[in-house]
Structure 1
Amino acid sequence: MATAAEGAALAPVTAIALVGVLGVGAQLWAWRLNIPAIVLMLAAGFVVGPLLGLFDPARDIGPLMTPMVAIAVAIILFEGGLTLNFHSLRDAAHGVVRLVVIGAPLGWLMSALALHYGAGLSWQTSAVFGGIMIVTGPTVIAPLLRGARLSRRPAQLLQWEAILNDPIGALAAVLAFSVVQVIYASADGPAAALQLVLGIAVAGLVGAAGGWLIVQGFRRGWVPEYIKVPLLFVAVLAAFALSDAMLHESGLLAVTVMGIWIANSDLPSFVELRRFKEHATVLLVSGVFILLTASLDLSALGALTWRAVIFVALVVLVARPVTVLLSLLGTDVPWRERLLVAFTGPRGIVLVAVAGLFGERLQEIGIDDAALVGPLAFVLVSATVVLHGFTLAPMARLLGVAASERPGVLLVGGSNWATALAEALKKAEVPVLISDANHLRLRPAREVGVPTFYGDILSEAAEHNVELTQYDTVISVSDNDAYNTLVTSDLAPEFGRDNVFQIRREGSETARHALPASLGGRPFAQCATYREMAQLHARGWEFRVTGLTEEYGIAQWREDRPEARVIALIDDAGNLRFPCEESEIGTGAGLSLVHFSPAKKERQQVPPDA
């Protein structure tokens, strides 16, 4: 591999540790900088690999790299399949079907045309590489959706298309390669076609059978809890290996089918399984991006010409938009959402991995320009990741399909004082929703125009009808302490433990009623209980929003309202903070205080409350 500098070989254990540190470190740093993590992962792999020569996967890890990447991609696609619950599709179902059934072959054709006329590749290479380009990369889409905060339907369209088209793209490349192989290597055409059909059928059967066996074993109690996750990993590897032995790259289809089967089986332990798989996927995505970027050959990139730029432009501005817009023609998907999906098509790990494999195979049968497949794949992935990483959120806001411009608050538990808090937050232009299983308790909120959800926030109906991406914070303030603890414990992995709060439980300070730190949410309203808040509200206390300035800071505000409880802080950008202690407020300049205060005549120097 050609690099800017050649470093000493790393021990395999050191090399693998370096991959983990760079990958997870890039994700953490990107979170702090509020930029797409994939951009930093690509940059990190490029710097330590081709640029500085400190890390060469082929040299430092050796022959294990290829199977490691293959297994990682299989697990990533399986986890993606676990997210595809048919009940969650709702109004996006028709669009997803069109994007897969019509979009996949149309995208294959448009990509092949872009490769032939844009990059100047032969029709044989264009046909094979064009099949691979069907994929839009779930490993890229998932982090982008996490940061872009799209509304439900466009997010579902992008997520389902990415996961379903990944194995389809790999199989399309297999089909095109089989045809090219028959032409160039005098292979037996009918035999190759039969092997392809049998391989796809076996992949589907292996995936469905593996999913069925897992579901039956878990549901009938044949597997203890502590072995469920290890067994799931082993089952994924077995299904991938068995199917791949029948037809190369068909293992991706098998594990995707297996994940979808399990996702739609209503397993009681499904949430715990999916969360663990999500954690493993974050690590695997990080590692694979570092490995593939560090493996890049600079001399191969040097062989590219200006036509590579034309190729990327054709894919982004012509092939992808035409494919999506024609596929969704005649559906009820609004045109704003169609435009967002049409101009969002980042490519990811599967494209680079599969393109490199078939590029080598095409060269083996005598197609010289196949050497450009790998470099073109890397350029396309890099360009689309950077482009969509920085433009998806702004484009969603411009088109009006973002879930919310500002982070919102989900209040669980309808009561008079919770409604008053929601009304104050709404006046401060903070998106807010009140959820309660008692319809009558929601009536005051509806009367003042506060959005409500009637039902249990942990129910399947809430998952399908409440756009949780609009809300960054959960505050459980029902009159049932046990339910508040259940809600915050259940939603903490999804929202982050720092973003779930609950009203203090009665008697929680005693050893008899104390709970471990792993249960429940953070203290709310300066550790007030439900009874205290209800009594204060009945005595006339009100929720207000007061802006602080350099002249009127927190000290003066506290002097004017010594009894008030600070509920939240809103900065100039609209970000919310819920301080547990008053010392966390700081000077207060430029902040707006949401506080719970006695109803009394304000002094002249006190600014008017919002």
Structure 2
Amino acid sequence: MVPSLLFEVMLVLLLGIGSQWVAWRYRLPAIVIMAATGLLAGPILGIIHPEENFGALYSPIISVAVAIILFEGSLNLSFKELRGLGKPIFRISTVGAFIAWILGSLTAHYIAGLSWAVAFVIGGLFIVTGPTVIMPLLRQSKLKPRPAKVLKWEGIIVDPIGALLAVFAFEIITFMTAENPDGTLLVLFFAASIFAAIFGWLCGKGIGWMFETGHIPEFLKSPAVFVVVILCFTVADEIMHETGLLSVTAMGITLANMGISSISDMRHFKENVSVLLISAIFIMLTASLERETLYQIFSPNIIGYVLLMMFIVRPLSIFLSTIGTEMTFREKALVGWIAPRGIVALTVSGYFATVLMASGYEDADLLTALTFALVIFTVVAHGFSISWLAKKLGLSMEGTPGVLIVGSNQFTVRLANSLQTSDVPVLIVDSSWERLRLARKAGIPFYHGSMLSEQTEYNLDTMPYDYLIAATDDNAYNALICTTFIPEYGRMNVFKVSPYRPYEDGSSAMVSKVGGRILFDKKFPMEILNDKLNEGYVFRKTTLRERFTYQDYLKEKDEATVFLYLLRPSGMLKFYSEEMRTVPTIGDTIISLTPPNKEKAKIQAKLENQRANSNNNNQNK
């Protein structure tokens, strides 16, 4: 038994974040690790019992967490992303959802053995995927932009639609089976849904207006949004159960499309909160599963139902709904396979299991086992297969980590050329067409535009690039770029050229402490690197062998050599910086900027060897 509720809260958070770390460390699907951890800690080992120990707080905690997660996801839904994707996303979210509802309900009745009433309720609910399971998969798989955006938009938009379909089905059943049918409840359902959408829009507009006019100070913006999200969800949900999800989705989409600058800052904070909430809630839900329910999951009718939902219902609904759209067959195949169910399906099915059983539908006791079976099977199957399938279909951006370089000048172009010869994807970004002339002349891929502009955000695909280097002549701009993109790339993968200048007495100290890590060494600002190239310095590759180790290389190198980056045989790329702790080993290739005298001596020695070999051959003849 756990000593206290506080200890259980700590354990849930520890297991959730620990699962995320294990998944990141060993490149495994995070949702699979979280599900396995929750099952081990709950029904298998009996270490924690969240539903029992949290008591009356269990359902409200999960509901609020789901609302915040869904809001954070919808905060990323800018209509600018819909360029060329509006038609397939609309079709999948409407026609596809309806087809999945009908086919899922028929499958639930004929295969799982549920009554028509219960089948249509659960059929509506099971069209959802949701950000709690889709976002971790997208982070893991590095899909190309089109299928990634379709899955993201579908997951967030269909989440409230699925819950509302389940409520709608229940209201229809109640109406049709009543002794004295009264259409008032149906009218109230539609009115409550419309109210929820409008209320969410008003909340988004209201908080957005307060941000733009300065009525809320910076330090209160994130707390204010959290409070309004909970207000928005609770008010709508109190009027009609499950309409709160629709309300927070409408609020998030409204804020995302108002063009408020501070929203992007909050988005990173809310992403971090969402990761914490997803981790904790997934552990709580799986740990609350009863052993009897776990045994029920493996009954033949439930397994048959799950397999049909995965291999027939989902692909068929996607292929039928996207006829005549711009999506390719490969994109349809990927989207038609990926549909993991998550927190919304688990929480809402628990509510309907209670309501339906109270209304006399005894077969509703299967809903919990059915939902957990679909969640666990889809999470495991899709979590482990998405990266493999994306690669097979040519829809994955995985490969050698790429480098995005901001700033076109003599040094960055030569650096990009060096990376290209090592088969590393590279792109140079600059707002000056004149400065890009060097990149164009060298045949380096480039993008013309400001890295910080909103247009670049939607037009430039940054997925192939794992590293970002800010190497313009403006040190403040470099620091700003690094600060902006650290949440996206990670602190260890963002670099800037040294802001120090030999003729300054520490005035760059402020800039040096802002943004990413200093590239190479603080002794080498941009102008010195370019000067070295003008002096004849060359890019040199040195591969370490058993007969030429790293120690041998250090003894042989010139003192003026600038270490640039390291390439491992596995394809791993590491840029040199003052914080670099990696020691090169046999098989690694060191790329450096070498003085011309060193290279000339090397060439001279090679020529002398060739001359000596030629003389020996002539003497032998």
Question: Which bracket does the TM-score occupy, shorter chain normalised?
Answer: over 0.9
Separation in 2 of the partners of 1:449 and 1:114?
56
Note if 1:134 corresponds to 2:130.
no
For residues 66-118 of structure 1, the C-alpha deviation after alignment (integer angstroms, 9 at most, x for no partner) is 00000000011111110000112222222111111211111111211222233
Quickly say closer, same or farther: Cα 1:544–1:91, change in 2 above 3 A: farther
Separation in 2 of the partners of 1:369 and 1:582?
62
Quickly say closer, same or farther: Cα 1:437–1:516, change in 2 above 3 A: closer
Find the partner of 1:480 among 474, 480, 490: 474
Q: Which residue of 2 aligns with 1:63?
A: 56
Is there any run of 5+ residues in structure 2 with no aligned partner, and where?
Answer: 608-621
Q: Which residue of 1 aligns with 2:395?
A: 401
Q: Which residue of 2 aligns with 1:389?
A: 383
Secondary structure in structure 2 of the residue aligned to 1:156: helix
The Cα of 1:334 is off from its aligned counterpart by 1.9
- The number of residue pairs the alignment matches comes to 599
State whether residues 476 and 511 of structure 2, in contact with CA within 8 Å, keep that contact through their aligned partners in structure 1: no
The Cα of 1:185 is off from its aligned counterpart by 4.7
Q: Which residue of 2 aligns with 1:534?
A: 530
Separation in 2 of the partners of 1:186 and 1:501?
71
Q: Which residue of 1 aligns with 2:152?
A: 159
Read off the aligned partner of 1:465 and give its amino acid letter.
N
Quickly say closer, same or farther: Cα 1:108–1:517, change in 2 above 3 A: farther
The Cα of 1:271 is off from its aligned counterpart by 0.9
Is there any run of 5+ residues in structure 1 with no aligned partner, and where?
Answer: 1-7
For residues 436-480 of structure 1, the C-alpha deviation after alignment (integer angstroms, 9 at most, x for no partner) is 011121122223332111011111121111111211110111111
Separation in 2 of the partners of 1:585 and 1:303?
51
Read off the aligned partner of 1:330 and give its amino acid letter.
G
Read off the aligned partner of 2:156 and give its amino acid letter.
I
Note if 1:293 corresponds to 2:289.
no
The Cα of 1:549 is off from its aligned counterpart by 2.3
For residues 283-341 of structure 1, the C-alpha deviation after alignment (integer angstroms, 9 at most, x for no partner) is 11011101100110111232341122211111111111111111111111122212111
- Share of identical aligned residues, percent? 38
| Equivalence map 1:437-516=2 (5 Å) | 437-507=431-501, 510-515=505-510
State whether residues 202 and 246 of structure 1, in contact with CA within 8 Å, keep that contact through their aligned partners in structure 2: no
> Which segment is superposed worse, 542-551 or 310-319?
542-551
For residues 23-82 of structure 1, the C-alpha deviation after alignment (integer angstroms, 9 at most, x for no partner) is 111111211111111111111111111011111112221110100000000011111110
- TM-score, normalisation: structure 2: 0.93
Q: Which residue of 2 aligns with 1:523?
A: 518
RMSD across aligned positions (CA): 1.8
Q: Which residue of 2 aligns with 1:570?
A: 567
| Equivalence map 1:236-247=2 (5 Å) | 236-247=229-240
| Equivalence map 1:136-285=2 (5 Å) | 136-186=129-179, 188-285=181-278
The Cα of 1:566 is off from its aligned counterpart by 1.7
Find the partner of 2:552 among 553, 556, 572: 556
Separation in 2 of the partners of 1:559 and 1:414?
34
The Cα of 1:382 is off from its aligned counterpart by 1.0
Secondary structure in structure 1 of the residue aligned to 2:84: helix
Separation in 1 of the partners of 2:414 and 2:342?
47
Separation in 2 of the partners of 1:400 and 1:542?
37
Quickly say closer, same or farther: Cα 1:278–1:176, change in 2 above 3 A: same
Secondary structure in structure 2 of the residue aligned to 1:329: coil
Read off the aligned partner of 1:543 and give its amino acid letter.
F
Secondary structure in structure 1 of the residue aligned to 2:344: helix
Separation in 2 of the partners of 1:238 and 1:377?
29
Quickly say closer, same or farther: Cα 1:404–1:301, change in 2 above 3 A: closer
Secondary structure in structure 2 of the residue aligned to 1:216: helix
Separation in 2 of the partners of 1:331 and 1:267?
32
Separation in 1 of the partners of 2:412 and 2:294?
60
Q: Which residue of 1 aligns with 2:352?
A: 358
Note if 1:334 corresponds to 2:331.
no
Secondary structure in structure 2 of the residue aligned to 1:119: coil
Separation in 2 of the partners of 1:124 and 1:397?
41
Secondary structure in structure 2 of the residue aligned to 1:441: coil
Secondary structure in structure 1 of the residue aligned to 2:435: helix
> Which segment is superposed worse, 547-556 or 244-253?
547-556
- TM-score, normalisation: structure 1: 0.95
The Cα of 1:518 is off from its aligned counterpart by 5.9
